[in-house]
Amino acid sequence: MNIVTPRRPSGFPEYLPADQIEFNRMLSVIAEVYNLFGFTPVETPAIELAEVLLAKGGGDTEKEIYRFTKGEKEYALHYDLTVPLARYVSEHQNDLAMPFRRYQIQKNWRAERAQKGRFREFVQCDVDVIGSNSVLHDAEIVSVVSNVFDRLEIGKYIIRISNRKLLAGFVEAIGLESKTNDVLHLVDKLDKIGSDALTVELEKIRLTKEDTEQIIDFVSITGSPKEVLEQLEGLSIENTIFKSGMSEMQELLFTLTAANVKPDCYSFDLRIVRGLDYYTGTVYETNLIEFPEFGSVCSGGRYNDLTKYYSTADLPGVGISIGLTRLFAALQEVNKISNKIASPSRVLITQFGNKKVLARAVEVASELRAKMINTQVYLDEAKLDKQFKYADKLGVPYVIVIGEAELESNKLVLKNMSTGDQSVVTLTEVVELLEI
Amino acid sequence: MNIVTPRRPSGFPEYLPADQIEFNRMLSVIAEVYNLFGFTPVETPAIELAEVLLAKGGGDTEKEIYRFTKGEKEYALHYDLTVPLARYVSEHQNDLAMPFRRYQIQKNWRAERAQKGRFREFVQCDVDVIGSNSVLHDAEIVSVVSNVFDRLEIGKYIIRISNRKLLAGFVEAIGLESKTNDVLHLVDKLDKIGSDALTVELEKIRLTKEDTEQIIDFVSITGSPKEVLEQLEGLSIENTIFKSGMSEMQELLFTLTAANVKPDCYSFDLRIVRGLDYYTGTVYETNLIEFPEFGSVCSGGRYNDLTKYYSTADLPGVGISIGLTRLFAALQEVNKISNKIASPSRVLITQFGNKKVLARAVEVASELRAKMINTQVYLDEAKLDKQFKYADKLGVPYVIVIGEAELESNKLVLKNMSTGDQSVVTLTEVVELLEI
């Protein structure tokens, strides 16, 4: 037999059980919060028709797309969840209640250059509201993100919020309308390059020193959200786009306050622009306070015309995406993934070859499972010592031992694997202890 | 703008929200039961190196595999979860506690000819124990399957169990050893073609009339599991393989009885062989009593040498797979998927443009969500009538109305959408009603 070395292509992560369990816990938290806000789950095929997936053209991403021909069709694996959402909403719009609130947690594929923190297969957790212009949805998205990161328990975070209309309106107001896109793209780099380099870059696109200073001053406004809005008002900018952005930010703040979103978990930050051209209003990025080097772990914003390549319907939307594969890898890197439990079992029941003991072990397991207690029976012939080692390797918290004496007395020996405490108990007592 | 018709390639299913919610419910039930028995979740990449995935050669499936070149590598999408499991176990064997109990719920891809009930992208739900020869695991798999189908609530089912050693040993005992594989393959077709056609087929491979009759009689043995075993014993077959199969079936029955698996949900059925050559002992198929036309909805068995293409380690295993995409489509076909609820929300809170009402609506929503009650606020400007229609279209069971009077009294109007009953209640009362 010719043995092939078992291996994966680079950029395609997979986890050992303990990490997979922790990864799944994080996925469940995210899905639970999305459900909590009444977003409905959607799943689209991994494979789309290339002609449909690439309707808008792939731009820079196009060469990263996995595409192939099979039979007479050309197919492509989706590289994000936004294009499939646009296709889904367009295809099914007559069957969906609008506004359509959906979440989608799936793998995506991009043939990026393999490097640390970059994956070719990665899970994104997207949540969007389609079919409404109301900025109240934009505010709710902040509540969703805040709820997710509170429950993930990976430390303090800050949701940085802006509205592209503010900077765009300001740039227009100072007479630089023709350079709006360039300015927004450059400001988007500010976090990475710093304000000195931004100054150089702005001068490269032929802004005067004064204009450059004005822009740097504008995006450097800080303070509480209320203070930021007050300072912006103080600028007395007479520009329709800017004013529209102001009123949206005011409504956003009003709603966040009403919803009791903790004030220390979000900020109004004019440096947030999001590079992608399709954002048209509110934009978000989220950083972990303890790990600024991770960059934004949850980003998004409001966009118009999601479906313009597939439908003439006017369907604006707002949403965010959490890149869980990337976040998880970053947390592993800083040793923040500490789960060592490699089994969902709450208890392992040992047994010896004796048929009566086996029968009792299997019966006890059935009764525990009927109470929804995850239970494993050791089903191979092995010394008790080996069975305990196995439980220990899996990280199972409790072990039940049944011997001849316990068969007689109809009791069980229960061992707490972390304390080493051992006691003789009834099945009812085990259920009371382990029931959730 | 050039509009591309939004559409999917054929054979790639996706669901509208109500169906997706029901599909996910079924997935959750399956995962929950797998966890209940202490199987740990594993997920492998969708894309494998073609050279690795196809180490054993694809046989008939090979032309159905989606494979493609990107850069210098040749990749392939996995077409089942068994080959990725073999690769995973081989690659990580030093890090896994043996026996290794894992479940894996993922999409697979096969470019099958498009036809009803056949999908090119389909979810399989696999559960396996690797690294043990003990038939006690084979018995536990029956408990797992029985637990899953009890909880899925899709009607009565029968898990049909056999052991390939019984038929193989019998064939050897009557002197037809050289034709064992042919006979097993033909018997596997019995359910589809009937015993008359089987007789013809057996005669085609030059079995005598007497041998043919003996085989037909053998696989036609019926009765309770105990009766089947008694009849088999009555045949007094002196053959090592047969006897090994007998003792495994006896141990299986003993364990199923101890585990209190309901006797009416499984049978010992010698017609079950499973076409796949890699099964070596116990084999299972599961049929829905009400829908025999679905064929087997959950199949599997015991196999040796799972990892032989990747490792010299001796890793036998046993497991089953539920083809959920196919099962779900079959249930849809017979109108057994009846969920009409297109939102996870338990309650929808209406609101009017009034800022105070909005603030109260958002606040109430936050408090309900803090109690883990899935809640949606209607965040667009609309007449109350339209908000109710929206709730109705989504199938949300309760609607809360907050008006000026309720702001004053600090109460809420709660409407039960199925009965139409409406009452004035406190927030605490709503929580008590809706908390799970």
Amino acid at site A312: T
Say whether residue A251 is in contact with chain B using an 8 A CB cutoff. Answer: no
What local confidence, expressed as pLDDT, does residue A114 receive?
74
Instruction: Kindly state the average pLDDT of the residues B380-400.
Output: 97
What is the C-alpha separation between B173 and A240, in angstroms, rounded? Answer: 92
- Whether residue A199 contacts residue A306, with contact meaning beta carbons closer than 8 Å, is answered with no
Q: Which residues of A touch B21 (CB under 8 A)?
A: 40-41
Q: How many whole angstroms separate alpha carbon B2 and alpha carbon A56? A: 9
How near does any CA of chain B get to the CA of A77, in Å? 11
Q: Do A91 and B3 touch (CB under 8 A)?
A: no
Query: Helices H, strands E: what count in chain B?
Result: 15, 16
Q: Do B374 and A68 touch (CB under 8 A)?
A: no
ipTM of the modeled complex: 0.96
Cβ contacts of B96 on chain A, cutoff 8 Å = 16-17
Option in B51, B92, B380 nearest A16 (CB): B92
CB contact under 8 A, A380 and B132: yes
Residue A41 phi/psi, 5° resolution?
-75, 140
B93 at A interface, C-beta within 8 A: no
Q: Which long-range contacts (C-beta less than 8 Å, at least 24 apart) are formed by A57-64?
A: A61/A110, A63/A111, A64/A110, A64/A111, A64/A112
pLDDT in tens, B56-92: 876 777 899 999 999 889 999 999 999 999 999 999 9
In 3D space, the residue among B342, B72, B257, B435 whose CA is nearest the CA of residue A96 turns out to be B342
CB contact B278 to A (< 8 Å)? no
Q: Are A253 and A225 in contact (CB under 8 A)?
A: yes
Task: State whether B366 and A259 contact (CB < 8 Å).
Answer: yes
Which residues of chain B neighbour A132 with C-beta distances below 8 Å?
379-380
Q: With contacts defined as CB-CB under 8 Å, which chain B residues touch A400?
A: none
Q: Which two tokens stand for residue A165?
A: 């209309």
* CB-side neighbour CA atoms (13 Å) of A334: 15
User: Residue B394: its pLDDT value, please?
Assistant: 98
Work out the minimum CA distance from A28 to partner chain B, whole angstroms. Answer: 11
**pLDDT tens digits in sequence order for chain A, 436 residues long:** 689 999 999 999 999 999 999 999 999 999 999 999 999 999 999 999 999 999 987 677 789 999 999 988 999 999 999 999 999 999 999 999 999 999 999 999 999 887 877 899 999 999 999 999 999 999 999 999 999 999 999 999 999 999 999 999 999 999 999 999 999 999 999 988 999 999 999 999 999 999 999 999 999 999 999 999 999 999 999 999 999 999 999 999 999 999 999 999 999 999 999 977 789 999 999 999 999 999 999 999 999 888 999 999 999 999 999 999 999 999 999 999 999 999 999 999 999 878 999 999 999 999 999 999 999 999 999 999 999 999 999 999 999 999 889 999 999 999 999 999 999 999 999 999 998 7
Indicate if the pLDDT at residue B192 is higher than 70: yes
Q: How far apart are CA A324 and CA A322, in angstroms?
A: 6
Q: Which of B2, B70, B366 to mutate to test the interface with A (most CBs of A within 10 A)?
A: B70
Q: How confident is the model at residue B114 (pLDDT cuts 50, 70, 90)?
A: confident
Where is pLDDT greater, at B176 or A275? B176
Tell me the pLDDT tens digit for each residue of B278-302: 899 999 999 999 999 999 999 999 9
**A138 at B interface, C-beta within 8 A:** no
| CB interface of B with A, residues 8-47, below 8 Å | 8-9, 12-17, 20-21, 24, 35-47
Q: Which of A359, A367, A349 is nearest to A428 (CA)?
A: A367
Q: Kindly report the nearest CA distance between residue A362 and chain B, in angstroms.
A: 5
**Digit-coded pLDDT (tens) for B403-422:** 889 999 999 999 999 999 99
pLDDT value at B378 more than 70:
yes
CB A183 within 8 A of CB A170: no
Alpha-carbon distance B312 to nearest alpha carbon in chain A (angstroms): 8
DSSP B154-181: S--EEEEEEEHHHHHHHHHHTT-GGGHH
Angle at A354 between CA A351 and CA A360, to 5 degrees: 60
Residue B407: helix, strand or coil by DSSP?
A: helix
State whether residue B345 sits within 8 Å of chain A by CB: yes
Measured between CA atoms, how close is A354 to chain B, in angstroms?
A: 12
**Rounded Cα–Cα distance for residues A19 and B100 (Å):** 16
Q: Position B134: which residue type? A: S
Record: contact A379-B55, CB cut-off 8 A: no
Over range B113-126, report the average pLDDT: 90
* CA A60 – CA A345 distance, rounded (Å): 46
Kindly report the CATH class assigned to A347-434.
alpha beta
The answer to whether the Cβ–Cβ distance between A7 and B91 falls below 8 Å is yes
Tell me phi and psi for residue B194, to 5 degrees.
Answer: 85, 165
pLDDT score recorded for residue A219: 96
A51/B4 touch (CB, cutoff 8 Å), yes or no: yes
Q: Quick check: B3 contacting A, CB < 8 Å?
A: yes
Report chain A residues whose CB lies below 8 A from the CB of B136. Answer: 358, 377, 379-380
Q: What is the pLDDT of residue B264?
A: 96
Cβ atoms of residues B14 and B8 within 8 Å: yes
Judged by CB atoms closer than 8 Å, whether chains meet at A6 and B366 is answered as no
* Superfamily of chain region A17-333: Bira Bifunctional Protein; Domain 2 (3.30.930.10)
3-class SS at B145?
helix
Peptide bond into A99 cis (omega under 30): yes
pLDDT at A279: 94
Q: Residue B305 pLDDT more than 90?
A: no
How distant is the Cα of B359 from the closest Cα of chain A, in angstroms? 5
State the pTM of this model: 0.97
User: Tokens representing A10?
Assistant: 């680079």
For residue B224, the 8-state DSSP code is: S
CA-based nearest residue to A261, from A159, A365, A397, A406: A159
Tokens of A48: 């789309």
Average model confidence (pLDDT) across chain B: 95
Top residue of B14, B147, B341, B402 to mutate, by most chain A CBs within 10 Å, is B14
Residue B1 has pLDDT above 70, yes or no: no
- Cβ of A381 under 8 Å from any chain B Cβ? yes
Q: Provide mean pLDDT across the span B9-21.
A: 97
B20: nearest Cα among A182, A23, A43, A22: A43
Distance between CA atoms of residues B424 and B401, nearest Å: 9
Using the beta-carbon criterion (under 8 Å), do B379 and A132 form an inter-chain contact?
yes
B65 interfacial to chain A (CB closer than 8 Å): no
Q: What is the pLDDT of residue B277?
A: 79
Least Cα separation, residue A360 to chain B (angstroms): 7
Domain edges within chain B:
17-333, 347-434
- Nearest residue of chain B to residue A24 (CA atoms): B41
pLDDT for position A65: 95
Residue B142's pLDDT band, with cuts at 50, 70 and 90, is: very high
Check CB contact under 8 Å for B55 and A4.
yes
